[in-house]
Chain A
Amino acid sequence: MSPKCVDINTMKEKAALFRKEIIQVVHSAGSGHPGGSLSAVEIFVTLYECIMNYRSGDPKWEGRDRLIISKGHATPVAYVTLANYGFFPKEELKGFRKFGSPLQGHVHTKVPGIEFNTGSLGHGLSVANGIALGAKLLNKKFKVFCLLGDGEIQEGSIWEAAMTASQHKLDNVCAIVDYNKIQENGPTDEIKTLEPLLSKWNDFGWHVVEVNGHNFHELISAFDKFQSIKGKPSVIIAHTIKGKGVSFMEGNCKWHGKAPQGDDFKNAMAELESKIEE
């Protein structure tokens, strides 16, 4: 049930703002995962701006769509998104990765809007399936989205879950692969290639859509298509750029899990500022 989308310009502005805030929170924390957060910004904005059904003032509203953030290290983009969409006050972002703050290093249900604690890769799709199976048993109509990393789908447990979703015809499940092609220690192709990725998911019985993960039109269209697919789960393979938005982070595995400090931080912020002014 995607509400009337949408003002693409607003979404682009939000994306630009979120990127800046991501760099800010990771820098303040002194640790965190900027690369894989920056690659997922458009995905998050699309979901929260015009795809998912939710009430930010009532994060446990029964009728809501669920998002399982299986790539649990994407806390910077997740928390920045939730704060900006009204789930909690923005000044709490200062507490990211700080002792005593609910904003744990990997997504945690202490944070309003987070459905499940993750952080060990490969778990989220099974959990999403379980929620979806439960929904079908109870005849509930909400959708379950599951954000996966590309390195993450090297975990065999993801494919166990892929088989289950297909076997049980979970057409209320939509996975999104943040296909930024880089994992912690290098390009996925050099470590354990996922290719041919589209045909893998297709052969596992999923409806597959391939998009430019930084293009709002394509993302919206892909999510809309999911809503009409019956009898099989859907996956959106979103081609993205790790570190997108900061030139020296783009495509660079070094920024998978490193906080920018000093000049790196200044330069990143300057670049992102200039994009906001555009």
Chain B
Amino acid sequence: MSESAPTRDGFGRELVALGKENQKIVVVSGDLEDATRAEYFKKEFPKRFFNLGIAEQDVLGTAAGLSLQGFIPFATSFAVFMTNRAYDQIRLDVCYNKCNVKIVCSHAGVTVGEDGASAQCLEDLAIMRVLPNIKVICPVDSIEAAKATRAVTQFHGPVYMRTSRAAFPVITKDTDPFEIGKAVVMRKGSDVTLIGCGLMVFESLQAAEILKKEGISARVINMHTIKPIDEETINKAAVETGAIVTAEEHQIYGGLGSAVAEVLVQNIPVPVEMVAVKDTFGETGSPRQLLEKYQLQSVDIVSAAKRALQRKPK
């Protein structure tokens, strides 16, 4: 692993490529395009870019209206503002009307860093996935973010995707296939499965290396699509490894962990341990300091894996 990049960069660049190919792509922004990287599109296609100012409800409603005219609007802002302030618009205008709006928001997770709690979105996966008609994606690195950005334009319907401010290690390749709803087994293993999304996949791979030295074989899965979740891969992992750890830069209630647990509890109940923010808001700090404080690192995934193994029936 030699390079790192924020996933927002992958989104920003691919949006430009898409804009060149497809005149229907438009972007609606809540004045944060420099930070979300939607500004790359703005520079190339100023007539198809609309900064509606600090007005997230307006951004979403307007995007919905544009979609009725056959455009594919990307609505962008920070995750915490778009998903929270404009939740009613996402619910009703976008999801209930099944509008072809792609909501892509940066600054998800604690790795937002110094801005602190008000900017660190830790609840978006939970509140987005509970809405009907929407797909929810958390790309693992900038390469996957680019692929996901392209993939979401290839069907009609609402999408929510979270991207990062901080650089994530690049762990996929351009040639790796990407399909919405299809999780990727990044590392084979048989004793326990580590299911992560976003940065936590990298942390899970690190954890798997540590576990290997202790004679524990850990499977690592990149669950980039939270909804629709890949039940088959989850159930297969449960059957074949018997213990699951989930890891996410998100609250422990309602996110990836809950989504995975819902599948297991209804199919193959096995011990599940969840690595996530434990029902608290974030704070100012560097990304790494915060990951450490909120126990979102490989060492935490290792501990969780051992707890899960302990709970396997003898």
Contact = CB atoms under 8 A, between A and B. Distances in A.
Interface of A: 109, 115-120, 122-135, 137-138, 140, 156-157, 160-161, 163-164, 168
A116 B64 CA distance: 10
B70 A134 contact: yes
Contacts of A140: 69
12 contacts: A120-B92, A123-B88, A123-B89, A124-B61, A131-B69, A134-B66, A134-B68, A137-B26, A160-B52, A164-B52, A164-B58, A164-B62
B213 interface: no
B55 A117 contact: no
B97 A109 contact: yes
B294 interface: no
B62 A127 contact: yes
Interface in B253-288: none
Interface string B59-92: 0111111111111010000000000000011001
Interface residues of B, number: 28
B50 interface: yes
B58 A126 contact: yes
B61 A161 contact: yes
Interface of B: 26, 47-48, 50, 52-53, 55, 57-58, 60-71, 73, 88-89, 92-93, 96-97
A123 B61 contact: yes
Given A116-B64, A130-B62, A130-B64, 19 more contacts: A116-B68, A116-B93, A123-B57, A123-B61, A123-B93, A126-B60, A126-B65, A126-B89, A130-B61, A130-B73, A133-B50, A134-B69, A134-B71, A137-B26, A137-B69, A137-B71, A138-B69, A164-B55, A168-B50
B65 A131 contact: yes
A160 B55 contact: yes
Contacts of A119: 92
Given A117-B96, A134-B70, A127 B57 contact: no
A156 B66 CA distance: 21
A134 B57 CA distance: 18
Interface of B is mostly: helix
Given A163-B53, A164-B62, A131 B97 contact: no
A16 B210 CA distance: 80
Contacts of B96: 117
Given A119-B92, A120-B92, A128 B65 contact: yes
Given A109-B97, A123-B61, A126-B60, A133 B55 contact: no
A116 B69 contact: no
A157 B58 contact: yes
Contacts of B69: 130-131, 134-135, 137-138, 140
A161 B86 CA distance: 13
A197 B305 CA distance: 62
Contacts of A128: 65
A137 B58 contact: no
A128 B93 CA distance: 12
A127 B55 CA distance: 14
Contacts of A123: 57, 61, 88-89, 92-93
A157 B61 contact: yes
A125 B65 CA distance: 9
A132 B53 contact: no
A208 B128 CA distance: 39
Contacts of B92: 117-120, 123
A130 B63 contact: yes
Contacts of A161: 58, 61-62
Most interface-central of A128, A156, A161 (chain B CB within 10 A): A161
Contacts of B65: 126-134
Most interface-central of B63, B69, B71, B73 (chain A CB within 10 A): B69
Most interface-central of A132, A135, A137 (chain B CB within 10 A): A137
